[in-house]
Amino acid sequence: MSKKDDLALVASALRRARAIQASLAALALAATAFWFFLWQAGRLGAEPAASLLTLLVCGATGWLAARFIALFRARLQIETSVVYETLKNFPGRIQWMFPKSVYLRVGAMQLEAERIIFVLTEDGQALRIYGITKTSSPAMEAALRRLAPRADFGWSEKSQKRYQQTVGLIVR
């Protein structure tokens, strides 16, 4: 694969993460509107405690909506994101990359929610690539190995110690 194809794969993962953030923002906005409607409808003749509780929930969902919208806007331009720019223009700055799985626990079941690839640079920056599905993970890892061939890939005690000695950043 060419560098352009590898970067397109990274961009698609970043776009997937952005779409999830947009969905969460829309859901939080809808919840805010719903709770505000309930507060307005129950304001006349309702108990003050219930009205205050509904208003507090409305404020909390509004705050969540604002946070998700801010995240969405911050990552709006995929091609100008720090991780994309680093992989495209400065792959030599990358020292270590490793994948990590994020799990969702539902009762006794544990499900893999998504994979995140951490990209650590020579100046101590810890960048993350979100939006990687379980099925696209091997292709993404291969693309990142081609984009930054000098970087260590994968988690190991040896890589962690080397990175901490070089940069001084403690990675857990």
53: its two tokens: 């509780």
Where do runs of H (alpha helix) occur along the chain? 3-42, 48-74, 82-89, 137-147, 157-167
Give me the residues paired with residue 102 across strands. Answer: 114
Distance from C-alpha of 75 to C-alpha of 129, rounded to nearest angstrom: 11
Please report, in angstroms and rounded to a whole number, the separation of the first and last CA atoms in the chain.
33
Ordered per-residue pLDDT tens for the chain, 172 residues: 687 888 887 888 888 877 777 777 778 778 887 877 776 776 544 677 777 777 787 788 888 788 777 776 665 667 667 888 888 888 888 888 888 887 777 777 776 677 888 888 888 888 888 888 778 888 888 888 889 888 888 888 887 787 777 666 555 5
3-state secondary structure of 172: coil
Distance CA 55, CA 59 (A): 6
Contact 167, 123 (CB under 8 A): yes
Its pTM surpasses 0.85: no
Measured CA to CA in angstroms, residue 89 lies from 11, 22, 83, 147 at distances of 14, 28, 10, 10
Asked if residue 40 lies in contact with residue 101, where contact means CB atoms within 8 angstroms, the answer is no
- Would you put residue 89 in left (φ > 0), alpha (ψ -120 to 50) or beta? alpha
